[in-house]
Amino acid sequence: MDRFLFTIDKLSAWVGKAFAWCILIMTFGVSYEVFVRYVLRDPTPWAFDISYMMYGTLFMMAGAYTLSRDGHVRGDVIYRLWRPRYQATVELVLYFLFFFPGIIALIYAGFDYAGESWGYREVSVMSPANVPIFQFKTVIPIAAIFLFIQGVAQVIRCIICIRTGQWPALLHDVEEMETMLLHEHEDVDRTREDMLSDPKGGAK
């Protein structure tokens, strides 16, 4: 079961990291626009469209990856005080009440939305460049499908936690600096406690 869960996690991670390159395209577009607008006095008609399409694509396609790392925003002021089995029970109920109905609706509506856009080769109305955006609309149902797949893995984790009382392991590859520093302080404090409890062993 762990292998199955980690396979889904790796798929979500691959997709999220692949589309993370969108940030470079967006950065280039915005930087170029700033340069030509304020230095050359010749703004582009396409930079704004590129920036919001790249940001939107990055935001959507990283959703499953973020879910696999338990990184979405959660009101955990009370949640973190619960026992793991109770956390898993609440999450399991919420997945079926809100997550899956919302994601299924997003898949269904997203395919319809993208299909219409491809039908008349939709272009952006926000700039005179007529940048095509029908391919961008396709990101909506695709991102929702990956979220659905990752949601299945998260539901399995909830069931395992309800049975065992412990959350299954998650894949970890990136941590915020704040979290890394917290772990470092915990390691230092643990080392000090060990030295104080066993001075001779600590001296060795």
Render pLDDT for 30-85 as a digit per residue (tens, 0 to 9). Answer: 999 999 999 999 888 888 888 889 999 999 999 999 999 888 887 777 888 889 99
pLDDT, position 7? 93
Residue of higher predicted confidence among 78 and 145: 145
pLDDT, position 36? 93
Asked whether 69 and 170 are in contact (CB, 8 A), the reply is yes
pLDDT over 70 at 200, yes or no:
no
Largest CA distance in the chain: 78
61 and 128 fall within a common domain:
yes
10: confidence class by pLDDT, cuts 50, 70, 90: very high
Domain count, the chain: 2
Average pLDDT estimate for 121-137: 85
187: confidence class by pLDDT, cuts 50, 70, 90: low
Which residue range is the domain that position 188 belongs to?
Answer: 177-204
**Nearest-angstrom CA–CA distance, 137 and 110:** 8
152 and 100 fall within a common domain:
yes
pLDDT, position 180? 62
153 and 199 fall within a common domain:
no
Place of tokens 């991102």: 143
95 and 168 fall within a common domain:
yes
144 and 196 fall within a common domain:
no
Q: What is the pTM of this model?
A: 0.80
The token pair that represents 77 in the structure block: 């002021």
Q: What is the mean pLDDT of the chain?
A: 87
pLDDT, position 98? 95
pLDDT, position 178? 60
pLDDT over 50 at 204, yes or no:
no
193 and 108 fall within a common domain:
no
**Nearest-angstrom CA–CA distance, 169 and 178:** 21
